[in-house]
Structure 1
Amino acid sequence: GDTIIIGYPCHKAVCQFRGRTWTAWYSLDLPFDNGPWKLGGLPGLILAASESRHEFSFVATGIEQMRQTATISFHPKRYLRSTPAKLQRLLEDYWKDQWNTTNRLQGSGYSEPPKAQRTFNACLMDKYE
């Protein structure tokens, strides 16, 4: 199949990933092997992707040329060493109780009940055991 997304001709690719059937649309006019989330590796940039149950979908809405370059800098003293398993536990704690987890990490000691908690859908999260 072929289609046009934000002005770029795209080709269709289908794959199985994490128990889901994904359909991706990529453009050879944008020769980058990237895409949304963990999708990538095609010979062009993925501009749209969805899975067969229609629970997740990604669609590019535009591409802009940067006017100037941006420098990404890291401040190592601000970060803690971790492992994938520790990060997974931290994210699970955060989604169970965002308010208190954030306060604990910042060391603020300020405690006020949150007005609302968001739910967490872990189906796209890596699992480390």
Structure 2
Amino acid sequence: MSALAAAHRAFRLVNDVLAFLLEVAALLALAVWGYEWGGGLVVGALLGAVVAGAAAVLWGAFAAPRARYRVPLAAVLAVKALVFGSAALAIAGLGHRRDALWFAGLVLVNTAVVTSYRSRDRST
């Protein structure tokens, strides 16, 4: 394997790991937002679980690399925009506006990179 091929493979691996971490962070942000917005231990925990659970089910059904249903790329990106956008709004709603902007920017760049090379792999 050439040095360039090894570097390309490492770049892809780093971006895949980052994509996974961003997905986990999105679910966590939604759960925390639901907990805080729910106001009480029982209601907050239930709301946090429902919001994060709904996002996880939607993601697993349509947006995950091994999603249950194969849908067009536009639909995958729409689901990602919904989940990540909701997570960014949740982070902002928790009072961390600057962090929400950083999260959204990182998601945009990572999604563009990952989508680019996954699309290239499917076309070959």
Higher relative contact order (CA 8 A, sep 6+): 2
Category of TM-score, reference length = shorter chain: under 0.3
User: Comparing both structures, which one devotes a greater share of its residues to strand?
Assistant: 1
What's the TM-score, normalizing by structure 2?
A: 0.28
Structure number with greater Rg is 1
What's the TM-score, normalizing by structure 1?
A: 0.27
User: Comparing both structures, which one devotes a greater share of its residues to helix?
Assistant: 2
